[in-house]
Amino acid sequence: MSNDLRKRLRDQWRNLTKLQAEFSRTIGEADARGDYKLDRHTSMRSWLVRELHMTGSEASQRVCVARQLRELPKVTALFTDGQLPYPHVSLLARTRVGIGATAFTEVQSDLLATAQALDAARFRQHVRQVRQEHTPVRRGTAADQSGHGRLAIRTHEDGTVTLHGRLDQSGGATLQEALNTVLPTPTGTAPTPKSERRAEALITLCSRQLSSLRQNTSRRIPSWSVARMRPRHSHRHLASTHRPASTSVSPPNHRQTHTAAARTSAVNVASSIPLPRQGHTPGRRTFPDGSLTPALSGIERRLDAITSSARAT
């Protein structure tokens, strides 16, 4: 590459870094003032996603960098001067959030020196080690449960799935043995990479498991269990449903039924009322001295009428 072209690329990269720093400063200012509310957005992240068509993760990263730069003057100076590119600044900002402001102050000088000497990939590995050393192990987290396995499944917008996890020694050996049983054999002059063949083997194992489950659930129920599940009908129900065709049933006579019910109720009421003594005239009451009352009340007349109807029946 010519010296002129090399110089132009370096200058453009530095100018691009300065522009990224200015863009981050503007995001921080808009976030602090809350100007995103003027466009009816609930957060600066929402504004970046809707107005600038960023992804959710990228917008969150931009807001995180803008907020952390307010508390990191040394990082801001290097970023504004174009000496520290945006990927390194993003790693530094997220590291401060992860390990805390106090721990980050202790390792800030070392991180800045390492960031200026390494590329983004190797600096990410260095930052990961620093975070593991300064992040306290919480009870119940993945770091505390080192003997347990974990598996993360992420579905992307295009429908593809990413698997990321870690298994213990026995779990890893079991997985490799199961994959090797169905691992396709490479054929041809340009064989398929082993990673792709492992993916096919994993899909084959899952398909076999699903087929086995479907066969177990589609088995027929034995005939003896079907007979037990049939409902049993009572003799009265069978007699009513299987009545011979020659038997004729006459419609009920509602008038006779009503008369019989009235007679039954009259007898029941009369049985609870004491009958008058012999020689006693209905409608009059006899006192102990032998005198008679001239007339009866309305209730007593009704009782006498019921008694008379009961005797007549």
Q: In a 3-state reduction of DSSP, which class is residue 23?
A: helix
Does residue 144 carry a pLDDT above 50?
A: no
* pTM for the structure as a whole: 0.47
| Overall average pLDDT of the 285-291 stretch | 53
Quick one: 31 exposed, middle or buried, by C-beta within 10 A (0-12, 13-18, 19+)?
buried
Q: How far is CA 139 from CA 102, 131, 144, 150, in A?
A: 22, 17, 6, 16
| Overall average pLDDT of the 252-276 stretch | 50
Choose between 61 and 239: higher pLDDT: 61
Q: How confident is the model at residue 227 (pLDDT cuts 50, 70, 90)?
A: low
The 8 Å CB, 24+ separation contacts for 188-195 are none
Choose between 303 and 123: higher pLDDT: 123
Q: How confident is the model at residue 139 (pLDDT cuts 50, 70, 90)?
A: very low
Measured distance CA(78)–CA(95) in Å, rounded: 17
Does residue 218 carry a pLDDT above 60?
A: yes
**pLDDT above 90: percentage of residues in the chain:** 32
Measured distance CA(245)–CA(299) in Å, rounded: 54
Instruction: Say what the pLDDT of residue 167 is.
Output: 82
Instruction: Say what the pLDDT of residue 222 is.
Output: 55
